[in-house]
Amino acid sequence: MQFESHNVVFEGWYPFGHGDATLMAEPVFTRLAQKYGKTNAQVIMRWHIQEGNVVFPKTLNPAHMADNIDVFDFELTADEMAEINALPQRAYYNVPEEAPAFVLVQNDYSQQA
Ligand SMILES: NC(=O)c1ccc[n+]([C@@H]2O[C@H](COP(=O)([O-])OP(=O)(O)OC[C@H]3O[C@@H](n4cnc5c(N)ncnc54)[C@H](OP(=O)(O)O)[C@@H]3O)[C@@H](O)[C@H]2O)c1
């Protein structure tokens, strides 16, 4: 989907599809990661930054935390940005078979007054 970017800010609240393995392993990310000496996740982060998106990655891994901010020393070309933008617009969404307990608790509004 293409949007006019004037006066519009997009926010990416789960840039890695909650850790979706298919998204993370998309061949285009793997190829660009090898080209720039980065990780697939860093290519995803960099794409967001160059799009002008505000992006909120989550990680519990300190090394991933450092990686996710270390995306300001390389730049994707216009062709590479276009290639990523041309990826099929399908849902990348890692849904665990069983939701973690904290999710069930947080989404349980039955006790709410
Ligand atoms: N999704 C929503 O609707 C929503 C709504 C409100 C707020 N938020 C907030 O937005 C943030 C988004 O987090 P999210 O979990 O929904 O989705 P996410 O950021 O798309 O995915 C998180 C997953 O990506 C993995 N990951 C992160 N950095 C990585 C890296 N550099 N390399 C490889 N794997 C990496 C994490 O694993 P590791 O921990 O192993 O790195 C984790 O499994 C959270 O802070 C969340 O609270 C989300």
Give the pLDDT score at 35.
Answer: 98
| Domain membership of residue 24 as a residue range | 11-106
Give the residue, by CA position, lying nearest to ligand 1 atom 42.
Answer: 19
111 occurs within a structural domain = no
| Residue numbers in the chain where pLDDT is lower than 70 | 1-6, 90-113
Give the residue, by CA position, lying nearest to ligand 1 atom 44.
Answer: 58
112 occurs within a structural domain = no
SS3 113: coil
The total number of structural domains that make up the chain: 1
Lookup: tokens for 104: 């069930």
H or E element that contains 40: helix 40-51
6 occurs within a structural domain = no
CB of 18 shorter than 6 A to ligand 1: yes
43 occurs within a structural domain = yes
CB of 67 shorter than 6 A to ligand 1: yes
Residues near 99 by Cβ (< 8 Å), separated by ≥ 6?
A: none
5 occurs within a structural domain = no
Ligand 1 center to residue 58 CA distance, Å?
3
CB of 33 shorter than 6 A to ligand 1: no
Ligand 1 center to residue 23 CA distance, Å?
13
